[in-house]
Structure 1
């Protein structure tokens, strides 16, 4: 069992943060697998779009007129680390080194392959010198940050082995937890799966005034699932079945460690939870029935805390959880679990054995080892959020569509696979506008709203998709579901829709309306499924902000 020991506590104090199958239509899937083995669709099977020919660009250099408050070097490179008992595991890893900035800006997670935690303040100007130490191209996406196109990690800016790209941006976000991870087209899932991911936390004055639990009482929990071979090596060679459903592993890791255990005091903690899996969806709950108290989501603090029996967490989403262990006796143990649910994968043979998606299993264990008298009181009011009404959008009666369609041959958005710089009319957006969007399953909605939607798979292939939009975060305005709600009822109480989001889980036959601003920056900003196998298959499009 992995213990949260004194070395971790020192790390928390220093950093100011604790850190914590598809077998549907089997004959068609088998035919796809034969096509893949024969090279019929090329690497990543980009849904018929083939390899993307990006123009070769010179790596971005430091701007002498940009004067950073924070500068750091960020290297991605192969490494070895002990995860399971026995031989060390070969991984890919981000390593950050602070060149200029406050102490605690960059802190490594002890005994983990995950990237260094980067902590920034709203308003800081930041320079990151990204060095590619891999044998293949890569690029860094600052998932959740509002930054210019050239700094957003668009795959056209991927650099080759040995090259350096300089990112420069001002932190415009309110306080929240973000992710940095690779985004090269066709290779994102594998690079993330092998270890390339890290947390980037933004703080601001509004959050500081609340005096929320901090230091060793603020614990980020990065949840991932991995598959290991008999020699403790990560295995990532998904079959076509696994690409369609998403690659899942049999071992749950937290903060890069197996059988994660956390020792706590009898007081309140702030748990900063991130789903770092490539495709697995979690239904998080306490095993003793204690409600889940959520104080924030992707885009930062909610206006008021929300309490639920469980909360859903899809790939790319984050949760800010208030966990109060006060009143518990020393020696009390509990577990954070993923509860059983259904409906996120197609009905027929949805799993390939092992740790099934939608089954019940533990994520980590917690034990009260210290009795203390000090505690934090949960604030009644947390933050003030920018809000828009539908009648304030540029298109209140004509939402921009994001139509999801699946078939055994492809995963599409608005009826199209990914194309570089070839937006549909509905994907051209005026800079400075605020837009109403609707995300929905487009089966049977052929050639609607400028997009040639639909998909040959229809309902038999329908599954849940975490849709991520680059750029500014959005508000969820409504959810509606058609047809039988039996599966939906197993997850519906777990959606926290009152905060700002950049990733939203859309269930089969569900329609979700969101309001998203497109302020400050022109250029191409991606939107895609954050099931990373789907993204690599071409389930990604671009908004051209003009």
Structure 2
């Protein structure tokens, strides 16, 4: 099978509104019952007894998105629909950016002035949200900035943050979950002077790879079946796609390989580890590098979170069976090792100068948020989202401490990945303790477990109205979202 992207248009049925998404715990993954025969909406129990993903057979070399860079400061991004050959002999109706499925990597540089020329060629309204980007509120792409069919708008900003792996996706009220499910997701790479001095693998497609993990459900005709599996506590699927590739494998050399991991699923969590039991190095969080690489045997990402890791394949040979697996040892991505051993040098010991200052640690809490509920009864501070209501205000350039509590219910509650638009925040503490080393870097999305309290140091560098919400896409649509106005 080879992944084919076609631009042929097709008609889409009406968008499914509402829905809801839920994340599994670090120990349990989301549910999966037979979604082809029952609608899982509002079935909390399904998330404590998940259906496993398929094991990747490694039949298909993973697809890699194209890279686009500004030309005279301009990047063109079009949301469109088409057909994609995900399975041999079948054309699946899909959405994509600048193509029929998923999107390109937009590569920009710190300090660069960029104009993103966005256009909507879908048959329905959409927005363009730049997840993790430090950007003025009127260009952030939240539900206020709707583009109707055929409309185009320019988003101009100066890149004001360091090297990082971000992403972009739609954010229309009531339609985000299904539009992402159908394929609207792409990556943003920011480079800076520091990132080029660290001896990190940075040869795209050779030792530096983007990996977008998404679970989906297909009909017998190999079409996405969002309606059948839509779940008020999280729409999940039993079929794994990585960069849109079914049964993927990744061919690598015997050298250090950099993997940029994105959990692009509506609701499912992923715990990544190597089937060999070997350790790997984490070098970056959502918004940039850690101060130094840390050794891990596994890492869990909730929806919206990213991490960059490095695996040293020089210890393996062409006959080695090496794969990324999850906590159930399902093979997510097998590796084929075939290139000669490289003489790559060790990465720099110091990667960044991130720190939570003593002043930030001593700041009082000025914003308290309580996440609560499941299904269509999700709330923040006992309220559901209202586009006409501003929940908080914050001064431009001023750091505040947000305290976010995930209140459990009688069924125990669910993990909520909490996301703030238009900024990167610092994790000051989790239940009063310092965050794990893997979280000691810039973040825009953080996993909050039931009965857990996190303190975040939040500063906005631009004015505007920004969303904060659970990144379980259906929870967001069901009302677990609020607005902060930066003045």
**Superposition deviation, residue 116 in structure 1:** 1.1
Q: Is 1:503 paired with 2:445?
A: yes
**Matched pairs, number:** 428
Cα distance change on mapping 1:272 and 1:433 into 2, 3 Å: same
1:86/1:187 Cα in 2 relative to 1: closer, same or farther (>3 Å)?
same
**Alignment partner, residue 406 of structure 1:** 373
Which runs of 5 or more structure 1 residues have no equivalent in the other structure?
A: 4-20, 24-28, 35-66, 97-111, 341-359, 444-457, 483-491
Alignment partners' CA distance in 1, 2:189 and 2:77: 16
Aligned partner of 2:478 in structure 1 is: 537
- Confirm whether residue 82 of structure 1 aligns to residue 70 of structure 2: no
Q: Does 1:362 align with 2:331?
A: yes
Q: Secondary structure at the match of 1:428?
A: strand
Deviates more, 1:366-375 or 1:263-272: 366-375
CA distance in 1 between counterparts of 2:248 and 2:39 reads 37
State whether structure 2 residue 433 is matched by structure 1 residue 468.
Answer: no
Q: CA deviation at 1:380?
A: 1.5
C-alpha displacement at 1:495, in angstroms?
7.4
Change (3 A) 1:439 1:33: closer
Task: Quote how far apart the aligned CAs of 1:333 are.
Answer: 2.2
| Residue 416 (structure 1) aligned with residue 404 (structure 2) | no
Correspondence for 2:286 among 291, 295, 298: 298
TM-score by length of 2: 0.83
1:219 aligns with 2:219: no
Cα displacement string for residues 96-142 of structure 1 (whole angstroms, at most 9, x for unaligned residues): 8xxxxxxxxxxxxxxx8220111111111111211111111111001
Question: What residue number does 1:281 align with?
Answer: 269
Partners of 1:95 and 1:408 in 2: CA distance? 34
1:310-339: CA deviation from partner (whole Å, max 9, x where unpaired): 101111111110111013222222110111
Shift of 1:409: 4.1
TM-score by length of 1: 0.74
Q: 1-side partners of 2:383 and 2:485: how far apart?
A: 15
1-structure distance, mates of 2:282, 2:420: 22
Q: How far 1:386 sits from its partner (Å)? A: 5.5
User: 2-side partners of 1:481 and 1:473: how far apart?
Assistant: 21
**Structure 2 residue matching 1:460: 3-state secondary structure:** coil
For 1:307-326, what aligned pairs fall within 5 Å after superposition? 307-326=295-314
Q: What secondary structure is seen at the aligned counterpart in 1 of 2:179?
A: helix
Superposed CA RMSD in Å reads 2.7
User: Could you tell me how far 1:537 is from its partner in structure 2?
Assistant: 1.0
1:68–1:517 CA distance, 2 compared to 1 (3 A): farther
The aligned runs of 1:41-440 (5 Å cut-off) are 69-95=72-98, 113-215=101-203, 216-237=206-227, 242-340=230-328, 360-385=329-354, 387-389=356-358, 391-392=359-360, 396-407=363-374, 409-424=376-391, 427-440=392-405
Question: CA separation of 1:367/1:192 partners in 2, compared to 1, >3 Å: closer, same or farther?
Answer: same
Which residue pairs with 2:469 in the alignment?
Answer: 528
Partner Cα distance (1:392, 1:280) in 2 = 33
Aligned counterparts of 1:135 and 1:143: Cα–Cα separation in 2: 23
Query: What is the match of residue 518 of structure 1?
Result: 460
Q: Distance in 2 between matches of 1:434 and 1:528?
A: 19
Q: Which segment drifts farther, 303-312 or 379-388?
A: 379-388
For CA contacts below 8 A with separation 6 or more, give which structure has more relative contact order.
2
**Contact kept? 1:70, 1:125, Cα under 8 Å:** yes
Structure 1 segments of 4 or more deviating over 4 A? Answer: 29-34, 492-495
Q: Distance in 1 between matches of 2:415 and 2:349?
A: 33
Is there any run of 5+ residues in structure 2 with no aligned partner, and where? 4-29, 33-37, 44-69
| Structure-1 residue corresponding to 2:46 | none
**Secondary structure at 2:378 match in 1:** strand
